[in-house]
């Protein structure tokens, strides 16, 4: 009787540094979103990546550091996309309208990331401050587009109120699309129509007769 000996399967090989780091971020993002941040251990992430915990610690001190980097990456990519796509649109209203569509599209395509960034709380003040700083460029871009779309003599305090109202509508619609689309009988197309209606109302409120 001949016993067939199967060759050993080596664990995944990673190039030093960047490749392993990116794989850790990708895997952690998926596991956090699927299982919940509190329920996923560094050990589980390392197992799914195919590396040792010590190898991970060379890039990220702990889970909190992983989450911080995921948030930063998402905001940075979104901000770069906004500038690349919409800087050449001269009409500020059309620019803002397209940005709204982009935000909703991004949210639907990346539900794991959206939950992680917007729906997962952090007990660390440092982590929260880091998220806020990472989000500021994208928020500043939205604010600038809104400022240009509103009357030039509108007080800044009202501009900020309109900004809060716009963000609240965007976030609320994104959450409905990601978490409860069937309950509320909402689709991406209907969500965009409703947001368009709200957008027009926001702009019309401050227009002079």
Residues of the chain with CATH 1.10.357.10: 67-205
Exposure string over 135-167, b if 16+ CB within 10 A, otherwise e? beebeebbbebbbebbeeebeeeebeebbeebe
pLDDT number for residue 119 = 77
Fold of 67-205: Tetracycline Repressor; domain 2 (1.10.357)
Instruction: Report the largest interatomic distance among the alpha carbons of the chain, rounded to a whole angstrom.
Output: 95
Read off the pLDDT of residues 9-47 as tens digits, 9 standing for 90 and up.
444 555 557 889 999 999 988 888 788 777 899 999 999
pLDDT number for residue 100 = 92
**Whether the model pTM is above 0.75:** no
Give domain 13-60's CATH number out of 3.30.420.10, 3.40.50.2020, 3.40.120.10, 1.10.10.60. Answer: 1.10.10.60
Q: What is the mean pLDDT of the segment spanning 51-79? A: 85
| Radius of gyration, alpha carbons of the chain | 22
Residues of the chain with CATH 1.10.10.60: 13-60
């Amino acid at each position: 009787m001949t016993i067939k000996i199967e060759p050993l399967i080596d664990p995944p090989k990673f190039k030093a540094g960047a490749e392993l780091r990116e794989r850790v971020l990708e895997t952690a993002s998926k596991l956090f979103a699927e299982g919940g941040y509190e329920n996923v251990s560094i050990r589980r992430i390392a197992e799914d990546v195919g590396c040792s915990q010590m190898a991970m610690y060379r890039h990220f001190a702990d889970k909190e550091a992983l989450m911080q980097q995921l948030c930063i990456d998402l905001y940075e990519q979104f901000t770069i996309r906004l500038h690349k796509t919409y800087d050449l649109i001269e009409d500020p209203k059309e620019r803002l309208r397209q940005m709204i569509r982009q935000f909703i599209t991004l949210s639907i395509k990346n539900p794991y990331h959206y939950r992680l960034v917007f729906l997962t709380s952090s007990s660390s003040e440092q982590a929260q401050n880091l998220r806020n700083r990472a989000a500021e460029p994208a928020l500043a871009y939205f604010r600038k587009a809104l400022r240009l779309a509103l009357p030039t003599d509108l007080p800044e305090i009202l501009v900020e109120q309109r900004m809060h109202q716009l963000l609240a509508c965007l976030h609320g619609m994104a959450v409905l699309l990601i978490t409860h689309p069937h309950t509320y009988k909402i689709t991406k197309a209907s969500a965009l129509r409703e947001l368009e209606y709200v957008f027009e109302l926001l702009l019309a409120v401050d227009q002079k007769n």
